Structure 1
């Protein structure tokens, strides 16, 4: 069976139903059903929680570069 929650926590690409977004995911311990906290690095957006079944993870971001 595939793992449904992020382990270890990190930045993931998610399909939120409106498009692809990059967010930090953090497993919420002892949650039943298993749940995750979705966190934006942008402080304008508040963290929110979803069950693992509600999150469609596309992949994990392993490296990021930005032009200055």
Structure 2
């Protein structure tokens, strides 16, 4: 059991980074009032970024066969 705790604590920084962006919550990182808002903003930025890249590929190549 002690080894699981050490392994779980080894990724503390990564869990904190995910918690800051609203993606992670757990017993050490309880959800705050703005937790859902941060997750929504992170997801929205991700979707906009991916769609922007996709549109840029279509505009640059102007050929759907190359894209797909």
Q: Which has the higher contact order (CA 8 A, sep 6+)?
A: 1
More strand by percentage: 1
If you compute each CA radius of gyration, which structure gives the higher value, 1 or 2?
2
TM over 0.5: no
User: How high is the TM-score relative to the length of structure 1?
Assistant: 0.22
User: How high is the TM-score relative to the length of structure 2?
Assistant: 0.22
